[in-house]
Amino acid sequence: MPKTDLSKFDNTWYDTGANAFKRAAWYIVNAIFLNSAFPISRVKIGLLKAFGSKIGKRVIIKPHVNIKYPWKLTIGNNVWIGEGVWIDNLANVIMKDNVCISQGAFLLCGNHNYKKESFDLIVKEIIMEEGVWVGAKAIICPGVTCFSHSVLTVASVASKNLDADSIYSGNPAVKIRKRAIND
């Protein structure tokens, strides 16, 4: 029978991308300005940029958003991030233009290797191409690319790449139809 022994867990190889002071400062700023009821996107964007995020124009960040490491975050133009979104970006998260992340969605760049006794940390980036929409309470897992104009519906889980111009639903998410956008 397999055994997990967390005393053997070792993620000293993992580089957060910032020293302890910068991480601590970010946790405080994140708690006060992003993961709170604070409403002003421009202030949030300025703080994210000060901590290393690359952010385009006309970005909206709603209240109660949690971002693990802003220096591993790239956001394009005209992006909306809804209330309660959690971006657990242990690796890079890239949102291209016109991406919408709805309320309570999770972007998870980390997981653990359940096949190893030491439960090793696994980190992989997430990429959302132009026009992607992630529905409320949906989850995107490590290493997933959401190709152009794909949709992940409410409470669905993307554990594999989403094809362009396609709508996905369920856990695990499966393609249910093509996305048609009318002018």
The pTM score is 0.96
- Per residue in 170-182, pLDDT (tens digit) is 999 999 999 998 8
**Does position 1 have pLDDT exceeding 80, yes or no?**
no
Instruction: Give me 102's structure tokens.
Output: 């709805």
Class of domain 18-178 (CATH, top level): mainly beta
The tens digit of pLDDT for each residue in 68-127 reads 999 999 999 999 999 999 999 999 999 999 999 999 999 999 999 999 999 999 999 999
pLDDT at 179: 97
Please, which pLDDT band fits residue 29 given cuts at 50, 70 and 90? very high
pLDDT of residue 35: 97
Preceding omega of 172 cis (within 30 degrees of 0): yes
Closest CA to 17 of 73, 66, 55, 65: 73
Q: Are strands 139-140 and 157-158 parallel, antiparallel or unpaired?
A: parallel
